[in-house]
Structure 1
């Protein structure tokens, strides 16, 4: 924890200066010894958050802005999505969720249940699920450009609860079908009692910035019935969220 605090003091010292600073100037500004400052600066340079403007001076890179932009983007889409999800729950009487890619995972940024019924799986805001092994993930992956999809699938998951679930061997075939029909529909990969319907939220260039899903207990809702009830409302909600983000200038960073 002390090292983390020192790292943030150093970043704040760089950000507070109008001019690029030397190692000794940064050590003094952040109240650190030169050796600690040197080690931390080298680490931050390696990570891409700090750059050498010349051999002796250091400056922040634009990568630091990514942290804030991710938070802003997710807040924007979550605020836009809440009334859409509420309307989806009212119209379908099923649980509705919104997820975005976070590395190789789908991060749930908003979720609403229908009443107090539990669905047999503990998904909440902040839950991560490997994109390759989730229906909502397929709705995003299917619409990614090939290079982005390959890069995403190579990234390790940060979620430990679902590591034992393997991606389907015919994933490429599944994604091609999702891309062709415009939605993903399947039994949940993390619960044997749920059916999930998911659609992408596409920007004006057709890039998937998120995905919406509804989930229903399989015992009372077969896949075809869920698609019949939920597909049109899901597509309408996804379109409204995309248009709302465009109008507000918001975006969800990669």
Structure 2
């Protein structure tokens, strides 16, 4: 490893960029440029150049109203890319098999990919079932799906805004689901409070889903586990399904990170 005095200018810039990225990834909320410069020991003039480049590459997000900087979706997608390399699928497949056997329902595993959920695994039942749109490789808007909401509910508000912000209303598929970020925030608050997400007919008419987030060692959501069904169960049955889904998600968290689950309250 080279010492600071041995580094060439390009290497110094790379080290500083990675230092900023690591620093922001560990912050629970956006911080000012002055705080970043102080804590990362980077001159303010150099820091602003770094931040502007990182912003163009979506590794950081700038909140101009508050003059704050936070981690961006580009950094999140790199982490998801590592999981999509096969680690997540190999670890999650046997757990989905058990979840489907336990609930008698189709189960899924997915990750955030930009503002969408990317479905990585699907475990079907032994019984003939009506088709679902959630095939492996399919992408659906995260704010409409239980799996997407389960992950979004565990992210800081500024990161949710960075992921989903667009002019006008949020997209819909069936005419149901949140149309504005303010409406979505209320849904995410309720999901976060109970520890799982429920969605009904937002992606496909008459199809419902229950999902829970999977976490990394830092307590950030890296994936979600969910089950889908056509028949609308009773409230007690939803609780039973949710319990099985959460246990599966927690089991995958332990497999991947080796640490206890830390959900945001």
Q: Normalising by structure 2, report the TM-score.
A: 0.60
Deviation at 1:163, TM superposition (A): 5.7
Q: Does 1:133 align with 2:144?
A: yes
Task: Quote the Cα distance in structure 1 between the aligned partners of 2:226 and 2:123.
Answer: 11
Q: Does 1:228 align with 2:235?
A: no
Q: Pick from 175, 183, 186 the counterpart of residue 188 of structure 2.
A: 175
Task: Quote the Cα distance in structure 2 between the aligned partners of 1:223 and 1:208.
Answer: 28
Deviation at 1:67, TM superposition (A): 9.0
Task: Quote the Cα distance in structure 2 between the aligned partners of 1:155 and 1:120.
Answer: 31
Q: Does 1:105 align with 2:110?
A: no
CA contact (8 A) 1:186 1:223 kept: no
CA contact (8 A) 2:107 2:124 kept: yes
List structure 1 runs of 4+ shifted beyond 6 angstroms: 66-69
Correspondences of 1:14-163 after superposition (within 5 Å): 70-74=80-84, 75-154=86-165
Residue 253 (structure 2) aligns with: 242
TM-aligned CA distance change 1:196 to 1:226, over 3 Å: farther
Residue 3 (structure 1) aligns with: none
CA contact (8 A) 1:201 1:208 kept: yes
Unaligned runs of 5+ in 1: 1-19, 21-46, 49-65, 249-254
After superposition, the CA RMSD in angstroms is 3.0
TM-aligned CA distance change 1:163 to 1:91, over 3 Å: closer
CA contact (8 A) 1:120 1:193 kept: no
Q: Does 1:200 align with 2:176?
A: no
Say which is worse superposed, 69-78 or 141-150, in terms of deviation: 69-78
Deviation at 1:129, TM superposition (A): 0.4
Give CA-to-partner distance per residue, 1:198-246, whole Å, 9 cap, x none: 111123433111111111222xx41524423322221111111111111
TM-aligned CA distance change 1:225 to 1:188, over 3 Å: farther
Give CA-to-partner distance per residue, 1:77-109, whole Å, 9 cap, x none: 111100000000010000000110000000001
Deviation at 1:192, TM superposition (A): 2.1
SS where residue 84 of structure 1 aligns? Answer: helix
CA contact (8 A) 2:99 2:107 kept: yes
Deviation at 1:116, TM superposition (A): 4.6
Highest Rg: 1 or 2?
Answer: 1
CA contact (8 A) 1:103 1:155 kept: no
Corresponding residue pairs, total: 182
TM-aligned CA distance change 1:165 to 1:204, over 3 Å: farther
TM-aligned CA distance change 1:116 to 1:124, over 3 Å: farther
Task: Quote the Cα distance in structure 2 between the aligned partners of 1:146 and 1:70.
Answer: 19
